[in-house]
Amino acid sequence: MEFLNELNDAQREAVLHVNGPNMIIAGAGSGKTRVLTYKIAYMISQGIDPFNILSLTFTNKAAREMKERVSSKIGSGNARNLWMGTFHSVFAKILRIEHSKIGYPANFTIYDSDDSKSLIKTILKEFSLDPKIYKPNLVYSRISSAKNNLISAEAYEKNTTIVGDDARSNKPLIYKVYQSYQNRCFAAGAMDFDDLLYKMNILLRDDAQALVKYQSKFKYILVDEFQDTNFSQLTILKRLAAKFENICVVGDDAQSIYAFRGANIENILNFKKMYTDTAVYKLEQNYRSTQYIVNAANSIIKHNSEQLKKEVWTSNVEGEKIKVFRTNSDNEEAAAIANELFSLEMRNHSGYDSYAILYRTNAQSRALEEALRRSNIPYRIYGGLSFYHRKEIKDLLAYYRLALNQKDEEAFKRAVNYPARGIGKTTIDKILLTAASNNMSLWEVVTNSNLRNIGIANATMNKLLGFIELIHSFKAIAENLTSFEAGEKIAASSGLLKELYSDKSVEGLNRYENIQELISGLKDFTENQKEQGLDNKLADFMNDVALLTDQDNESDDDIVKVTLMTIHASKGLEFPYVFVAGLEENLFPSQLSINSRSDLEEERRLFYVAITRAMNRAYLSFALTRFKWGNLNHCEPSRFIEEIDARYLDYPEMELFKSKPSIPKKTIPLKKPTAAFDPPTRLKKVSDSQKVSIHTDSDNSKLFVGAEVEHLRFGKGKITKLEGVSPNKKATVVFNNIGEKQLLLKFAKLKLL
DNA sequence: TAATGTAGAGTTTTT
DNA sequence: CTCTACATTA
């Protein structure tokens, strides 16, 4: 067990605690994953059968990484027998085994949130509910949060508090939508994400046999990111752990950032009350970041009231203060970041993958992208439209889904509609109506009823029969061929491939390539499964394809790139250099959070997560004006900047900002561009205080190659190269003290000597 | 039924 | 601004 020596005292104690409930509070960068993997390795070395260990994570990526790390410790043979995966994928697997106990087919479809929302829209239409009042997103989140609190559709209707809330918000009929939604999902042989957890609860609650079976199987349960669990997940855990109570939860309350989605921070705050003999281990030594970063992060999180006590510290180098950039506009902010990033890279040559630019909202990425592109800095954006959510992918998957489960309503609607085959809205509406009033699936309607009776014309009927025939043939293909062969055949026979191939536009080409990528993914899958002696039918591929996300699909080209992502997406990652952009009131913290204490605390935790991603240096930036939906808005710096202890900041203007009266928030129409360049005088005075690296108005036209220049920070040097045109003119300067640097002239403010 | 235009909405989103 | 979803027209 020499690997135990690689741990610090707190980590080792946590690893050695195997029996009984225990909770590991793991500060940011404190080696949480290491503890979890070593703990599993240790358990197995103590003779615990891997078959008896269940390890749950939130992302497939985390699960995969964990599995790899455990494999390298205990060998892949042992690791293969561990039950390690996401909540959703593990429970989906169990529910497919136990499907008959809950009345579902083994090959039930998993609806993703697009499917769910589409179904909700259909239902709203049938009930003639105004989608402007009953916003599908809102209805979905009401249903979702009910399910995550284990409130059934029937219980929802009887819950006066909930129904009262709905009534007050002018949406008294949500309970009806919920009921219909559940019925339709069931008729379609489909479960949504929340159902996977909900039905798992039902299984364990109502089926004593299953309960005993899984309680005995999972003698040891480990849960990562416990702060992000919801009530439904917690209840499953409690049910499974009730027999042995060997449950280990790992998490950090300070990094709980998904409460808006139903995660319940109380789960971690109250764990000790649930299991009174819980042993608590705190991992407080941070191995990731410099002292300045750790201290700054601590000083932020101190402002939250609800938290578990812990003191994160580090023995790493002191590092440098967190630098704050103040800029006049969002574009200048982006340029300042690109500029600083570029000069850092010129100095350190650490590779562009050492940098991350984090932001609160995806919309902020545009300006940043542009600035990076202009500076020829390679970057990669995470987030946005994920691979599996692209239309063409969903279209093809709809055929696969239908081949496996003909009752799948959402797949039916999608497949029948594309490629165009002369079956349109009117026909579908008729089928939908019949299905809804008879509680049937769409497939049952088109295969069982007399279509003429529901008013479908002969010509259309023949087209429908052709479609049914097609799906029948796909069903046979899916059953008999490997997933790759079947997937390829269906893509071709559905006409989808041809349709996309004939589209020669850039987007069309892209779509075609995406389809090719999916099919080559199928090929990999088929070969992998074969190698491991596992089933490789289309059904096996589709089992949890709905549970996959983009990050599971990282097709990394070898170019090292700057990472652009939302702070949410950055959780669990680390970068030597981190820029956090858009630190403005109403953006970060978000406008929708500032009226509620708990929402604001979540934003603050988000900020904490952002800062603690940084290993060497962190930068914060904000703009005084920002375009939002074509309008120019004045912005105030975020309260979060002030909340950081000033000792850890490189932000000389802060004092001036603190004393200023707050600028009334207003929207200025685009028509008055002068406003953008005419900030209040008090602010203008600040910009003269030299420390700010943003200047737009220096005259660079007189510079020439060979000129002796002076730079405020870098000192004296000589220009060796000039390139680009104003305003993006770039100079290469060899400085006497620090050597060669490339500078964008509009920012560098070089003085000709 | 299919294509084309316009209105409206637009935090974060592991699954 | 920019995407998407629906409605109108051909």
The pLDDT assigned to A430 comes to 85
- Give yes or no for CB of A627 within 7 Å of strand C: yes
Q: What percent of chain A has pLDDT over 70?
A: 85
| CA angle, A557 then A559 then A565, to 5° | 85
How many Å from the CA of A454 to C1' of C10?
28
How many Å from the N-terminal Cα to the C-terminal Cα in chain A?
Answer: 66
Identify the band that residue A550 occupies on the pLDDT scale cut at 50, 70 and 90: low
- Give yes or no for CB of A621 within 7 Å of strand B: no
- Give yes or no for CB of A34 within 7 Å of strand B: no
- Give yes or no for CB of A351 within 7 Å of strand C: no
How many Å from the CA of A396 to C1' of C10?
30
Over residues A136-173, the pLDDT tens digits come to: 999 999 999 999 999 999 999 999 999 999 998 888 99
Q: Rounded mean pLDDT of A449-466?
A: 79
Over residues A59-104, the pLDDT tens digits come to: 888 998 998 999 988 887 888 899 999 999 999 999 999 999 999 9
Whether the CB-CB separation of A712 and A749 falls below 8 Å is answered with yes
- Give yes or no for CB of A121 within 7 Å of strand C: yes
Which of A12, A13, A33, A716 is an active site residue? A33
Alpha-carbon distance of A709 to A732, in angstroms, equals: 11
Tell me whether residue A390 is one of the annotated catalytic residues: no
Which of A11, A32, A69, A408 is an active site residue? A32
How many Å from the CA of A430 to C1' of C7?
19
Q: Which DSSP category does A286 fall into? A: -
In DSSP terms, which residues pair with A381 in a beta bridge?
Answer: A564
How many Å from the CA of A622 to C1' of B8?
30
pLDDT at A129 over 90: no
Whether this prediction's pTM lies above 0.85 is answered by no
Q: Helix/strand/coil (H, E, C) string of A620-653? A: EEEEEEEEECCEEEECCECHHHHHCCHHHEECCC
Q: Report which of residues 368-407 in chain A place their beta carbon less than 7 angstroms from any atom of strand C.
A: 385
Tell me whether residue A255 is one of the annotated catalytic residues: yes
How many Å from the CA of A465 to C1' of C10?
28
How many Å from the CA of A420 to C1' of C7?
19
Q: Report which of residues 382-441 in chain A place their beta carbon less than 7 angstroms from any atom of strand B.
A: 383, 386, 420-427
How many Å from the CA of A135 to C1' of C4?
15
Q: In strand C, which positions have an atom below 7 A from any protein CB?
A: 1-2, 4, 6
Which of A235, A255, A434, A482 is an active site residue? A255
pLDDT at A350 over 80: yes
For A667-681, b/e burial (b = at least 16 CB within 10 A) is eeeeeeeeebeebee
How many Å from the CA of A121 to C1' of B6?
21
Alpha-carbon distance of A175 to A172, in angstroms, equals: 7
Whether the CB-CB separation of A705 and A719 falls below 8 Å is answered with yes
CA A416 and chain centroid, separation: 31
Identify the band that residue A236 occupies on the pLDDT scale cut at 50, 70 and 90: very high
Tell me whether residue A429 is one of the annotated catalytic residues: no
Alpha-carbon torsion (A729, A734, A738, A739), positive or negative: positive
Q: Give the nucleotide at minimum CA-to-C1' distance from A359.
A: B12
Identify the band that residue A178 occupies on the pLDDT scale cut at 50, 70 and 90: very high
Tell me whether residue A224 is one of the annotated catalytic residues: yes
Q: Strand, coil or helix: what is A743?
A: strand
- H or E element in which residue A731 lies: strand A730-735
| Bridging pattern class, strands A355-359 and A575-580 | parallel
Q: In strand B, which positions have an atom below 7 A from any protein CB?
A: 1-3, 9-15
> Cα dihedral angle (A201, A204, A206, A208), rounded to 10 degrees?
-170
Q: Give the nucleotide at minimum CA-to-C1' distance from A425.
A: B1
For A266-300, b/e burial (b = at least 16 CB within 10 A) is bbbeebeeebeebbebbbbbbebbbbbbbbbbbbb
Which of A67, A613, A741, A749 is an active site residue? A613
Q: Give the nucleotide at minimum CA-to-C1' distance from A456.
A: B1
pLDDT at A30 over 50: yes
Q: Report which of residues 174-203 in chain A place their beta carbon less than 7 angstroms from any atom of strand B.
A: 193
Q: Report which of residues 553-572 in chain A place their beta carbon less than 7 angstroms from any atom of strand B.
A: 565-566, 568-569, 571
How many Å from the CA of A431 to C1' of C10?
26
Tell me whether residue A604 is one of the annotated catalytic residues: no
Structure tokens at A724: 């680009």
The pLDDT assigned to A747 comes to 45
The pLDDT assigned to A677 comes to 28
How many Å from the CA of A425 to C1' of C8?
15
In DSSP terms, which residues pair with A627 in a beta bridge?
Answer: A632
Alpha-carbon distance of A130 to A150, in angstroms, equals: 27
The pLDDT assigned to A748 comes to 52
Q: Rounded mean pLDDT of A412-437?
A: 85
Which of A98, A115, A195, A225 is an active site residue? A225
How many Å from the CA of A630 to C1' of C2?
10
Q: Report which of residues 127-186 in chain A place their beta carbon less than 7 angstroms from any atom of strand C.
A: 131
How many Å from the CA of A424 to C1' of C7?
15
Q: Give the nucleotide at minimum CA-to-C1' distance from A88.
A: B15
Alpha-carbon distance of A241 to A247, in angstroms, equals: 6
Which of A224, A253, A330, A332 is an active site residue? A224
- Give yes or no for CB of A586 within 7 Å of strand B: no
Main-chain dihedrals φ then ψ at residue A323, nearest 5 degrees:
-90, 135
A238 Rama class: left (phi>0) / alpha (psi -120 to 50) / beta: alpha
Main-chain dihedrals φ then ψ at residue A336, nearest 5 degrees:
-65, -40
For residue A312, CA distances in Å to A26, A650, A741 come to 9, 22, 37
Burial of A343 (0-12, 13-18, 19+ CB in 10 A): buried
Main-chain dihedrals φ then ψ at residue A83, nearest 5 degrees:
-95, 100
- Give yes or no for CB of A360 within 7 Å of strand B: yes
Q: Which of A199, A221, A222 is nearest to A210 (CA)?
A: A199
Q: Rounded mean pLDDT of A271-297?
A: 96
Q: Give the nucleotide at minimum CA-to-C1' distance from A429.
A: B1
The total number of residues shown for chain A amounts to 753
pLDDT at A656 over 80: no
- Give yes or no for CB of A706 within 7 Å of strand C: no
Over residues A663-714, the pLDDT tens digits come to: 443 333 332 232 332 222 222 222 222 222 222 333 455 566 667 766 555 5
Whether the CB-CB separation of A647 and A607 falls below 8 Å is answered with no
Tell me whether residue A225 is one of the annotated catalytic residues: yes
